[in-house]
Amino acid sequence: MEREATGPHFEVGNFERREHPRIAVNLPLEYRRVGESGTRVGCTGDISEGGSLLHLPEEMEVGQEMGLRMFVDPGFGFLSIEACAQVTWKGRDNKQERDYRIGVKFVEISPKDMRNLKSFLASLTHLRIPSEIPPKLLSDLGIPPAKAKKDSPEC
């Protein structure tokens, strides 16, 4: 069933169905429709172990498969994560008329790229832990306490 959103894509049901929580992060990416040779560029809006929200310059059809290469900070020891993905929903971005919001699920990803994705997501999760959470509570939840970092001004 094709679902085209006319506004922001929010559904309580989506969050209940998701096996993996998504983390908002803007990563540049290249994508290629299966069966086509040329690549195009876009970016992620969020990502999880199971899929991603993509911002693309063109509309994609629900069910369309594509190859993705998402670029991350080289400080992680790798430069990109590659996956084969399938479009699960589509919509327009109200803020950017020429921007399409595309929800995808990963249908194929190598074990190495999955390890890299999990490592990248774990690093983002640890960055988001508020410092006022008691270390004992973090430990009880299985989360190592974050090292204290000096706050830097936002640019």
How many domains does the chain divide into?
A: 1
Q: Count the neighbouring beta carbons within 10 Å of the beta carbon of residue 138.
A: 15
Domain-embedded: residue 99: yes
Domain-embedded: residue 147: no
Is the CB of residue 42 less than 8 Å from the CB of residue 59?
Answer: no
pLDDT of residue 147: 45
Whole-model pTM: value is: 0.67
Element (H, E) at 123: helix 111-127
Looking at residue 45, its amino acid is G
Domain-embedded: residue 29: yes
Q: Report the distance separating Cα 38 and Cα 67, nearest Å.
A: 11
Of the pLDDT bands very low, low, confident and very high (cuts 50, 70, 90), residue 111 is: very high
Domain-embedded: residue 149: no
The structure tokens 């999880």 sit at 48
Domain-embedded: residue 14: yes
Domain-embedded: residue 67: yes
Cα Rg of the chain, angstroms: 17
Looking at residue 102, its amino acid is I
If we measure between CA atoms, which residue out of 58, 28, 57, 22 comes closest to residue 44? 28
Domain-embedded: residue 54: yes
Structure tokens at 143: 């989360």
Domain-embedded: residue 46: yes
Residues in the chain: 155
Structure tokens at 94: 């109200």
- Give me the residues paired with residue 100 across strands: 56, 92
Phi, psi for residue 122 in degrees, rounded to 5: -60, -40
State yes or no: pLDDT of 137 exceeds 70: no
Q: Report the distance separating Cα 68 and Cα 11, nearest Å.
A: 25
Q: What CATH number has the domain bearing residue 115?
A: 2.40.10.220
Range of the domain at 57: 4-140
More confident residue, 12 or 100: 100
Span 13-62, pLDDT tens digits: 344 455 777 888 889 999 999 988 899 999 999 999 999 999 999 999 99
